[in-house]
Amino acid sequence: MALAKKNSAPINVDLKKEDTVKVIAGRDKGKTGRVLDVNRDTGRALVEHVMIIKRHTRPNPAKQVKGGVAERESPIAISNVMIVCPGCGKTTRVGHHVDVVPGGKTRRTRVCRKCGQALDRK
Protein backbone atom coordinates (compact mmCIF):
# COMPACT_ATOMS: atom_id res chain seq x y z
CA MET A 1 0.00 0.00 0.00
CA ALA A 2 1.36 3.36 -0.97
CA LEU A 3 1.81 6.08 1.60
CA ALA A 4 -0.97 8.62 1.82
CA LYS A 5 -0.15 12.24 1.17
CA LYS A 6 0.83 14.37 4.13
CA ASN A 7 -1.99 16.18 5.92
CA SER A 8 -4.67 14.39 3.99
CA ALA A 9 -7.31 12.34 5.71
CA PRO A 10 -7.72 8.82 4.38
CA ILE A 11 -10.22 8.84 1.58
CA ASN A 12 -13.09 6.48 2.02
CA VAL A 13 -13.86 5.28 -1.45
CA ASP A 14 -16.93 3.19 -2.12
CA LEU A 15 -15.96 2.64 -5.70
CA LYS A 16 -14.51 -0.49 -7.20
CA LYS A 17 -13.30 -1.66 -10.55
CA GLU A 18 -16.08 -2.76 -12.91
CA ASP A 19 -18.65 -0.50 -11.26
CA THR A 20 -20.75 1.60 -13.61
CA VAL A 21 -20.65 5.27 -12.76
CA LYS A 22 -22.26 8.44 -14.05
CA VAL A 23 -20.36 11.70 -14.26
CA ILE A 24 -22.26 14.37 -12.31
CA ALA A 25 -19.87 17.30 -12.68
CA GLY A 26 -17.14 18.55 -14.94
CA ARG A 27 -16.42 18.41 -18.64
CA ASP A 28 -17.97 15.00 -19.21
CA LYS A 29 -21.09 15.55 -17.09
CA GLY A 30 -23.85 13.11 -18.01
CA LYS A 31 -21.61 10.38 -19.40
CA THR A 32 -21.63 6.90 -17.98
CA GLY A 33 -18.82 4.40 -18.05
CA ARG A 34 -17.18 1.43 -16.45
CA VAL A 35 -14.56 2.00 -13.76
CA LEU A 36 -11.19 0.80 -15.01
CA ASP A 37 -9.10 1.70 -12.01
CA VAL A 38 -9.42 3.43 -8.63
CA ASN A 39 -6.64 5.36 -6.94
CA ARG A 40 -7.38 5.82 -3.25
CA ASP A 41 -4.36 8.00 -2.66
CA THR A 42 -5.36 10.66 -5.15
CA GLY A 43 -9.12 10.14 -4.83
CA ARG A 44 -9.43 9.67 -8.55
CA ALA A 45 -10.72 6.95 -10.80
CA LEU A 46 -10.18 6.00 -14.39
CA VAL A 47 -13.52 5.66 -16.17
CA GLU A 48 -13.96 4.20 -19.61
CA HIS A 49 -14.74 6.84 -22.29
CA VAL A 50 -14.66 9.66 -19.73
CA MET A 51 -12.16 12.53 -19.59
CA ILE A 52 -10.56 11.57 -22.87
CA ILE A 53 -7.32 13.41 -23.46
CA LYS A 54 -5.24 13.52 -26.58
CA ARG A 55 -1.64 12.57 -26.18
CA HIS A 56 0.70 13.57 -28.92
CA THR A 57 3.42 11.00 -29.14
CA ARG A 58 6.61 10.87 -31.15
CA PRO A 59 7.42 7.65 -32.91
CA ASN A 60 9.89 5.50 -31.03
CA PRO A 61 10.73 2.44 -33.11
CA ALA A 62 12.82 0.92 -30.34
CA LYS A 63 9.75 0.68 -28.11
CA GLN A 64 7.35 -0.04 -30.98
CA VAL A 65 5.59 3.26 -30.31
CA LYS A 66 3.86 4.77 -33.29
CA GLY A 67 3.74 8.53 -33.53
CA GLY A 68 0.60 10.55 -33.75
CA VAL A 69 -2.29 11.51 -31.55
CA ALA A 70 -3.51 8.88 -29.13
CA GLU A 71 -6.73 9.26 -27.17
CA ARG A 72 -6.68 8.00 -23.63
CA GLU A 73 -8.75 8.26 -20.49
CA SER A 74 -7.46 10.43 -17.68
CA PRO A 75 -8.44 10.06 -14.02
CA ILE A 76 -11.54 11.90 -12.81
CA ALA A 77 -12.15 13.00 -9.22
CA ILE A 78 -14.34 10.47 -7.47
CA SER A 79 -16.50 13.28 -6.07
CA ASN A 80 -17.53 14.02 -9.66
CA VAL A 81 -19.02 10.60 -10.27
CA MET A 82 -21.86 8.63 -8.75
CA ILE A 83 -22.36 4.91 -8.85
CA VAL A 84 -25.18 3.58 -11.03
CA CYS A 85 -27.16 0.80 -9.40
CA PRO A 86 -27.41 -2.34 -11.54
CA GLY A 87 -30.80 -3.08 -9.99
CA CYS A 88 -32.76 0.14 -10.49
CA GLY A 89 -30.50 1.93 -12.96
CA LYS A 90 -30.42 5.12 -10.92
CA THR A 91 -27.44 7.01 -9.60
CA THR A 92 -27.17 6.43 -5.89
CA ARG A 93 -25.12 6.91 -2.82
CA VAL A 94 -23.69 3.75 -1.35
CA GLY A 95 -25.00 2.17 1.82
CA HIS A 96 -23.54 -0.73 3.69
CA HIS A 97 -25.20 -3.86 4.81
CA VAL A 98 -23.38 -5.74 7.52
CA ASP A 99 -23.82 -9.49 7.56
CA VAL A 100 -22.68 -11.72 10.35
CA VAL A 101 -21.14 -14.82 8.89
CA PRO A 102 -20.77 -18.02 10.93
CA GLY A 103 -17.79 -17.67 13.22
CA GLY A 104 -18.81 -14.23 14.45
CA LYS A 105 -17.12 -12.28 11.69
CA THR A 106 -18.90 -9.54 9.82
CA ARG A 107 -18.96 -8.87 6.14
CA ARG A 108 -19.86 -5.53 4.63
CA THR A 109 -21.79 -5.47 1.39
CA ARG A 110 -22.33 -2.31 -0.58
CA VAL A 111 -25.99 -1.65 -1.25
CA CYS A 112 -28.03 0.82 -3.29
CA ARG A 113 -29.63 3.45 -1.04
CA LYS A 114 -32.60 3.75 -3.35
CA CYS A 115 -33.68 0.14 -3.90
CA GLY A 116 -31.53 -1.87 -1.51
CA GLN A 117 -29.97 -4.01 -4.22
CA ALA A 118 -26.49 -5.30 -3.44
CA LEU A 119 -23.83 -3.61 -5.54
CA ASP A 120 -21.27 -6.35 -5.05
CA ARG A 121 -21.44 -9.58 -6.89
CA LYS A 122 -21.11 -12.58 -4.65
Q: How far apart are CA 79 and CA 91, in angstroms?
A: 13
Which segment (28-36, 43-51, 81-89, 100-108) binds Zn ion by CB under 5 A?
81-89
Stretch (H or E) spanning 37: strand 32-39
Q: CB nearer to Zn ion: give 59 or 116.
A: 116
Q: CB nearer to Zn ion: give 78 or 112.
A: 112
Q: How far apart are CA 117 and CA 12, in angstroms?
A: 21
Shortest gap between Cβ of 114 and Zn ion (angstroms)?
Answer: 5
Q: CB nearer to Zn ion: give 51 or 84.
A: 84
Cβ contacts of 51 within 8 Å, gap of 6 or more: 26, 27, 28, 73, 74, 75, 76
Q: How far apart are CA 120 and CA 99, in angstroms?
A: 13
| Cα angle for residues 8, 106, 84 (degrees, 5° grid) | 60
Q: Alpha helices, DSSP H only, in the chain?
A: none
- x/- track of binding to Zn ion for residues 83-122 (CB under 5 A): --x-xx-----------------------x-xx-x-----
Q: CB nearer to Zn ion: give 24 or 77.
A: 24
Which segment (37-45, 51-59, 65-73, 78-86) binds Zn ion by CB under 5 A?
78-86
Shortest gap between Cβ of 85 and Zn ion (angstroms)?
Answer: 3
Residues at the contact surface with Zn ion, assessed by CB under 5 A: 85, 87-88, 112, 114-115, 117
